[in-house]
Amino acid sequence: MNMLKVIILSFIYFMSASAWAVYQCPIIVMDQGERSQVEDMNMRLSINSCEPEPPSYNGMSLATFSRLAQNSDITGRCTGPISATECKVELDYALDNRLITASAYSWGLANGYYPVIDRNNNIGVICKCGCFESTTNISVFSAAAGAHIEMAASEVNKSHQLVALSSTSSLSSLLVEDFPIKAIAKGKEQLPLYVFELADGTQLKVTQHHGMLLSTGEMVAAKDVTETDSFISAMTQEPVEIVNIGREETFNEVYNFETNGIDDVNHIIVAEGVYVGDLAWQNQLASELGQINLRQ
């Protein structure tokens, strides 16, 4: 037996077993005599098993994921538009790469949250998804029409300007102006929409995290609105009662928009004749939901 060959094979096998995490284990072919001599040299390694050990980190836990979700984007990093479909893509990626646990994935999918993942597979923040149903009437200024018009969400594009509250607005003086559209998001929605039936006969359909302006001046997520609350009519500036809140599945894409406004109130637009939040309230302004955003 060539002892030099055995020593070389022993060294190669030792290195391959020590480096199991580098892509895959090399296959080493030994005859029975060589195998015996390797074992006799106390290279007591598993020759038949080359499977990597399971990593000790199984991903962000549900507790951590939900805690970050409750403080969504305090750091101001949820700046880009993302559709419901894209939210699921991000959740799928995080789960497939063991960045989040299965329970965190299920909770995020059910509640409309997704992880923001950097190029090093680190999760920086948890953000929300939220949009309008495709036929929702959005108040815009159309240069082509030379007027303010109501237009289905699915037809709004960047040639239009969104009607939104001006920076000097208050509850007693709701002033509007036209803002260019900074971003448009659209995609499929997995969860049933919230359907608000209003006393003036209109219906407003939004996803659960969509920001809604109440007559108290408070911005809240759609899922937190109750039938004792009321919205504000953009036409009369008076409260509009909510007569019923339902849920409805949709097979159409949902849409959302963001103005290029600087102040928080510049991100309160008009949909179905009432004031609601734009995309910023699902992202960079999400931490301000539940607060009084318009005062007397």
Res. 16 pLDDT band, cuts 50 70 90 = very low
Over residues 152-163, mean pLDDT: 94
pTM of the model: 0.62
Spell out the residues 6+ positions from residue 229 whose beta carbon is closer than 8 angstroms to its own: 214, 215, 216, 220, 242
State percent of the chain over pLDDT 70.
69
Q: Give the best-scoring range by mean pLDDT among 8-12, 13-17, 33-37, 284-288.
A: 284-288
Which pLDDT belongs to residue 104?
92
Confidence check: pLDDT of 42 > 50 = no
